[in-house]
Structure 1
């Protein structure tokens, strides 16, 4: 079976332009609120031109989610079973916080998808994401049972890391209004706070 015809430089540029515009639109309006007309306007391309690259709004959304999932899983992949347990988990916390700081639109895109019941990404959550979380939970449970970290449920630990780090992207407007900032210094403060909080949570009782 012949392979796909390689895209030209212009086609690659337009493809990326559409995805970048769609990321803005979907992160602001969610999947249901976004329209192809909005994405075309944001991209500076005509709607027929957009449809040349992507046949539907769903296909654009799926492309973004697939790219996002690959990036989202990378920090958890880096959790090293051979490393120092507390430092490995704290490094994961801070990598997730850095992602919230650097990729807020992607975080909101993912959050919107989950709130809607994950219609376009359920297979990846039930497949690749679940497998990775199961694998790393087994590692964390082993550390806990060996007394290298506190007795802790690994799944709820991972969920709490997601909640406390991604919050700064998904609820940025709320955070900034409450602490009265329009900059990014709150991420530095969050980094200090989360490092201290999770270190205390993870430290075995015998070492407290």
Structure 2
């Protein structure tokens, strides 16, 4: 798994760049799993290297410190999780735009639960790494999308609803299935692993949320 630097020519340089990208991705995936289970303080570079099937010196070639790995994992996680909200289109049908957003959030919670738990742990710790991001980029994005929802409400295309609290409710509901998976399994048992459970979950959540925001007759 260790990358070998080869500067024999331009073609080799480009190959090394690809190898670096692959190895960085391997490291970040491994770090996500380690951090989401053990938290930042409980995780070590040795654990991440072992998870990545990579030597510690080779890992440190890409990231100098554990803090650098943690920050990179969080930055990638935030970029992934914000993409569906960024895609909310003011010119689209409001209910369908919210349906798409909720469905995508549920899919990501099911397919990337470790990412959701990592972010939740960072927030519970007081957001020592991402607080500047929360107060700038995230705040600006949510304000932008809240304005879109407010316009839909004023046009009568959605029921009267506070746009910020609607977004918060979607976050809380969709990420619950990742962050509180143990609790859900304790209550629902084996049905969580049955075929169709994800579709059933999406149908229930969409019915509850969209039922509350559809325009009143």
Normalised by the length of structure 2, the TM-score is 0.87
Residue 177 of structure 1 and its aligned partner are, at CA, apart by 2.2
Q: After superposition, give the CA deviation of every residue in 1:78-98 in whole Å (9 maximum; x if it has no partner).
A: 111111111211211111111
The answer to which structure, 1 or 2, has the higher relative contact order (CA under 8 A, 6+ apart) is 1
Residue 30 of structure 1 corresponds to which residue in structure 2?
39
Match of 1:183 among 184, 188, 193: 193
Q: Which residue of 2 is the match for residue 96 of structure 1?
A: 105
Aligned equivalents of 1:20 and 1:126: distance in 2?
26
- Tell me whether 1:21 sits opposite 2:54 in the alignment: no
CA–CA separation in structure 1 for the residues paired with 2:214 and 2:166 = 13
**In the TM superposition, what whole-angstrom CA distance separates every residue of 1:67-117 from its partner, at most 9, and x where no partner exists?**
111111110111111111112112111111111111111111111111111
State the secondary structure of the residue aligned to 1:107: helix
Alpha-carbon shift at residue 18 of structure 1 (Å): 1.4
* TM alignment of 1:1-208, pairs within 5 A: 7-181=16-190, 183=193, 185-205=196-216, 207=217
Structure 2: give runs of 5+ residues left out of the alignment: 1-12
In the alignment, what sits opposite 2:10? none
Q: Structure 2: how far apart are the matches of 1:79 and 1:13?
A: 31
2 CA distance for matches of 1:27 and 1:136?
29
How many residue pairs were aligned? Answer: 202
Pick closer, same or farther for the CA change 1:9–1:140 going to 2, 3 Å: closer
Structure 1 length-normalised TM: 0.90
Partner-residue secondary structure (3-state), 1:79: coil
Q: Any gaps of 5 or more consecutive residues in structure 1? A: none
SS of corresponding position for 2:189: coil
Distance change in 2, residues 1:92/1:11 (3 Å): closer
3-state SS of 2:82 partner: helix
For 1:100-137, what per-residue CA distance to the aligned partner results, in whole angstroms no more than 9, with x for missing partners? 11111111111111111111111211121111100000
33-42 or 20-29, which deviates more:
33-42
CA separation in 1, counterparts of 2:185 and 2:197?
8
